[in-house]
């Protein structure tokens, strides 16, 4: 069964460093998402992406975050200058279309630790 | 804004026990409601969903009914198995074509033989 994959599974970085989290969505999907979960807290929506544009973003997704689909298979989340509070599990998701009947399929997550 | 509240965990049950995980929500209009499950080391998987009031979502023996009057979507299973041990997330997606899913904090379920 097709699945969303994410790399790396765990990333440790120093405060102020740039980090890129990578995702490979399901191949025929057109909508892509990033969510994050700070330890012990809720899973929070960050951004959705369609047709090479951000279609929706949350207030968390400020100027230090960016997303990109650099080729036909990868979808990346870049954090320009990491802060301690960026430590979280980051989930990538994809869906075939945007309607509620189209399930968002989630990857296993990347645990980001900022020291 | 939209929010989801679910019962604190962890919940520990013996095999074949009855499971209820409570979930209530706050949202305008008529959101769609979901339960996701996360098995150890894996991503979030959609377990079931309901898109309008009084709908019952069901899958793998789990059920949840969309109750507009009580703004609830409680997850139930009549007889849990050890393989059901996981973290369960209640979630909503607002009406109006928005893609953002709002999650609860998750409830860890441990089923012991």
Q: Is the pLDDT of residue A32 over 80?
A: yes
- Chain-centre distance for alpha carbon B39: 14
Task: Look at B97 and A33 and tell me if their CB atoms are within 8 Å.
Answer: no
Nearest to B105 among A3, A41, A100 (CB): A41
Strand bridging mode B62-65 / B56-59: antiparallel
Contact B43 A104 (CB under 8 A): no
- Chain B CB within 8 Å of residue A4 CB: yes
Best of B44, B46, B59 to substitute, by most chain A Cβ atoms within 10 angstroms, is: B44
Interface list for B 47-86 with A (CB within 8 A) = 51
pLDDT of residue B95: 80
Cα–Cα distance list, B52 to A60, B32, B92, B106 (Å): 29, 7, 12, 22
Cα angle, residue B44 at apex, residues B39 and B49 outer, rounded to 5° = 110
Min Cα separation B67/chain A (Å): 18
Buried b (16+ CB within 10 A) or exposed e, A54-78: eebbbeebeeebebebeeeeebbbe
Q: What share of chain B is helix, strand, coil (3-state, %, to 5)?
A: 5, 50, 45
Contacts of A91 in chain B (CB under 8 A): 43-44
pLDDT of residue B42: 80
A100:B51 CB<8 A: yes
The Cα of A92 is separated from the nearest Cα of chain B by a number of Å equal to 9
B36: its two tokens: 């996701």
> For residue A35, what pLDDT band results from cuts at 50, 70 and 90?
very high
Tell me, what's the pLDDT at A98?
A: 81
A4 and B43 within 8 Å at the Cβ level: the answer is yes
| Residue A105, both tokens | 């399929």
The DSSP result for A44-84, as a single string, is: EEEEEEETTEEEEE-TT--TTEEEE--SSS-EEEEESS--G
Of all residues in chain B, the one with the smallest CA distance to A109 is: B43
- pLDDT beneath 50, residues of chain B: none
**Which tens digit of pLDDT belongs to each residue from A44-102?**
999 999 999 999 999 999 999 999 998 878 999 999 999 999 999 999 999 998 877 78
For the stretch B57-66, contacts whose Cβ atoms lie closer than 8 Å and that sit 24 or more positions apart, written own/partner, are: B57/B33, B62/B35, B64/B23, B64/B33, B64/B35, B66/B33
Q: For residues B26-43, b (16+ Cβ closer than 10 Å) or e, as one string?
A: ebeeebbbbbbbbeeeeb
Question: Position of tokens 């399930």?
Answer: A103
pLDDT of residue B58: 97
**What is the structure's pLDDT at B48?**
96
Q: What is the pLDDT of residue A112?
A: 98
Place of tokens 């989930």: A91
CA distance linking residue A94 with residue B37, whole number of Å: 17
pLDDT at residue A99 in the model: 79
Which tokens go with A76?
């990346």
Q: Are A85 and A113 in contact (CB under 8 A)?
A: no
Contact A92, A32 (CB under 8 A): yes
């Amino acid at each position: 069964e097709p699945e969303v994959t994410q790399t790396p599974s765990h990333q440790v970085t120093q405060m102020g460093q740039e980090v890129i989290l990578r995702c490979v969505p399901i191949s025929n999907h057109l909508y892509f998402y990033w969510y994050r979960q700070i330890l012990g807290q809720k899973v929070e929506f960050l951004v959705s992406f369609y047709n090479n544009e951000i279609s929706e973003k949350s207030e968390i997704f400020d100027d230090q975050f960016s997303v990109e689909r650099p080729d036909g298979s990868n979808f990346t989340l870049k954090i320009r200058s990491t802060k301690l509070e960026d430590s979280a599990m980051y989930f990538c998701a994809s869906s075939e279309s945007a309607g509620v009947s189209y399930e968002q399929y989630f990857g296993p997550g990347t645990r980001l630790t900022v020291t | 804004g939209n929010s989801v509240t679910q019962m604190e965990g962890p919940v520990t049950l013996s095999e074949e026990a009855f499971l209820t995980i409570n979930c209530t929500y706050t949202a305008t209009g008529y959101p769609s409601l979901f339960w996701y499950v996360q098995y150890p080391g894996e991503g979030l998987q959609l377990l079931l969903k309901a898109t309008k009031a009084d709908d019952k979502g069901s899958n793998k023996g789990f059920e949840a009914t969309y109750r507009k009057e009580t703004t609830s979507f409680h997850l139930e299973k009549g007889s849990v198995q050890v393989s059901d041990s996981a973290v369960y997330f209640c979630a909503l997606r607002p009406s109006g074509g928005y893609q953002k899913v709002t999650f609860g904090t998750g409830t860890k379920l441990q089923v012991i033989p």
